[in-house]
Structure 1
Amino acid sequence: MPSIRGAGAVALIAGGLLVSPVAVAAAPVPAAAAGAVTSPQDALQGTVNFRDLGGYRTVSHARVRPGLVFRTDALNRTTDADLAALAALGVREVVDFRTPAEVAGDGADRLPPGLAVTARPISDGGMYAAVNAAIGSKDPVRQEAVLGGGRGAETMRVLYRTFVSDAGSRAAFGRTLRDLADPSRTPLAFHCTSGKDRTGWMSYLLLRALGVPENTARNDYLLSNRYRQDADAATRAQLKAAGYMQDPDLLIPIQEVRADYLDAALDQVRRSYGTLDRYLRAGLGLDARTESRLRHRLLAR
């Protein structure tokens, strides 16, 4: 299909929509709303969903250390100032959950000298190809058939279930948890394309593994809607202006994070493992020793 990016509008990526060629900066989210630590680097110029996961309180009244774990959208559009900020943060590892097709379409991460990306692709179950093809067709009937009538939201729920059921996805999430327990690999940043789905599930799992209450971890997941709202609205406007979609609002379920998407993953956890703790241990390989190291490294009293 013709490149949407080449048309100067947007590129559609599994796990979210990416504005191109100009990123739209999201309005800052106040620290009180986010619940976590904010810093001047929380909104890099080339990202819209960069966050420090530090600052959250656990059920035992410990606190997630700031400056050790960063969740973000893709880092392929970082500016020179962003590179300096990442270097100042001391990031030692960047884990990229994007598929090879996403990286090929958007470009590899642009990182400070000496910092190499750790490619850890997580499958999108064919969503990238299906939705891209529908948009590229410029056919409103085809787009309605793919995304309308609740099908966009159902696509997302199916995707979230694969985060739990797919062996490759479990391996990627588990390996990242083990990296986070390794002092030689932190500070660490992990991301997908929009920093909301694969990244959102990874963040939720990490916070829960550290003992952060479920409601707090869920609210962190949902914050992506606030960080991404301006960029996502701009994407829809660009698609309509470029003649790709008559009804770009069909994309809203793909662009957003929703509580029922997270619930779909958690339902799959219950079906496959019974409890989240057993999923972390049997599904992701987070043994007691690694969990202890994770909490020792990332929590402070």
Structure 2
Amino acid sequence: MAATRRALSMSVLALALLMPLVSGTAQASPAANGPRPAAGSVTSPRVLAVPGTVNARDIGGYRTYDGRTSRWGVLYRSETLSKLPPEGVSALAGLGLGSVIDLRTGPEVQADGADRLPAGVTSVALPVDDTSLFAFIGMVVRSKDPVYQRQQLGAGKAEARMGALYRAFVTNPANRAALGAAIRAVANADEPAMFHCSAGKDRTGVLADTILRAVGVPAATSEGDYLLSNQLRAASDAALKSQLKAAGLMQDPALLDPLLQVRSSYLAAFRAQAVADYGTFGDFLAQGLGLDTLTLFKLRLRIVG
């Protein structure tokens, strides 16, 4: 059992409260400065060849409403960078990053470790709350009780928790402040930037969606970027569930699927809450996230070619 636990590394909802979980091995992809796909497409060149990651990618190449395109090599999204091997750090250095924005909470960083960054890259901590999901999942999995696990995660309860998490990205003032600060940091950056949470799918996905839509990328296109996490994380999530079952921690690890995956309904919950609270997406940017016209103008200049 102990050996099995040591073989696992950090995954989606900071299950490191239990033990380290499945470590991601980066999928093969072209170098970050290699050929890029056509605007609006989602193909392997979008994925960064950074060993130690599976969900690190460029948000360039997306067509905006006015026919322009988000720039390649300016803004990247990823999962945690705390498990990068030396070759991963070297690959990250090749991106020419000036800063990395870490959306993880203090307990997540404590459990999983600080980012491993190239020399000269500034780490910016802007934690976004996970509504105690970190602790909850740890408690449920540690119980090893299949009846209790189904009671807590089955019958739509896991999906409901994810909906609550996404709505809290809007309703929690501290979350709005962190997301607004992250967008200001991107808008004012002179060098390429990257942002991430633990799995690079929920908080990272919401921030990417907000930035892309703010610079004029259609909502449907941005949603496609959000949903790409499912494809990129599929193999590591399957390995995680297999190891949890083999370790005797869960008889039915598929109960975790709503927590491991991104779903259109989750993103819709975030978007709907923003409109419910502020009236329009533009008002959410201005009033909810505190982004003034100049910042949004600079963001578009920075992101859109």
After superposition, the C-alpha distances for 1:136-188 in whole angstroms (9 at most, x for unaligned) are: 1111111112111111111000000000111111011101111111133x311
RMSD (Å) for aligned C-alpha atoms: 2.6
| Structure 1 runs (4+) greater than 6 angstroms displaced | 2-5, 15-19
* Structure-to-structure mapping, 1:150-161, within 5 angstroms: 150-161=156-167
Residue of structure 2 in register with 1:92 after alignment: 98
In structure 1, what residue type is equivalent to 2:185? Answer: D
CA contact (8 A) 2:61 2:70 kept: yes
Residue of structure 2 in register with 1:168 after alignment: 174
The structure, 1 or 2, with the larger RCO (C-alpha pairs under 8 Å, 6+ apart) is: 1
The answer on 1:263 being equivalent to 2:262 is no
Residue of structure 2 in register with 1:196 after alignment: 201
Q: Give the Cα separation in 1 of the matches to 2:242 and 2:43.
A: 32
The answer on 1:20 being equivalent to 2:21 is yes
**Unpaired runs of 5+ in structure 1?**
none
* SS of equivalent residue, structure 2 residue 48: helix
CA contact (8 A) 1:209 1:291 kept: yes
* Structure-to-structure mapping, 1:20-39, within 5 angstroms: 20=21, 22-26=23-27, 31=37, 35=41, 39=45
Please, which of 225, 233, 245 is the counterpart of residue 228 of structure 1?
233
* Structure-to-structure mapping, 1:48-63, within 5 angstroms: 48-63=54-69
After superposition, the C-alpha distances for 1:228-251 in whole angstroms (9 at most, x for unaligned) are: 000101100010000000000000
Task: State the number of aligned residues.
Answer: 298
Percent sequence identity over aligned pairs: 41
Q: TM-score, normalised by structure 2?
A: 0.90
* Structure-to-structure mapping, 1:33-112, within 5 angstroms: 35=41, 39=45, 42-112=48-118
- 1:33/1:187 CA distance change after superposition, 3 Å: closer
In structure 2, what residue type is equivalent to 1:264? Answer: A
- 1:263/1:41 CA distance change after superposition, 3 Å: closer
- 1:7/1:58 CA distance change after superposition, 3 Å: same
Residue of structure 1 in register with 2:148 after alignment: 142
CA contact (8 A) 2:82 2:114 kept: yes
CA contact (8 A) 1:92 1:188 kept: yes
CA contact (8 A) 2:141 2:250 kept: yes
State the Cα distance separating 1:107 from its structure 2 match. Answer: 1.0
Residue of structure 2 in register with 1:247 after alignment: 252
- 1:163/1:22 CA distance change after superposition, 3 Å: closer
Q: TM-score, normalised by structure 1?
A: 0.91
* SS of equivalent residue, structure 2 residue 83: coil
CA contact (8 A) 2:51 2:91 kept: no
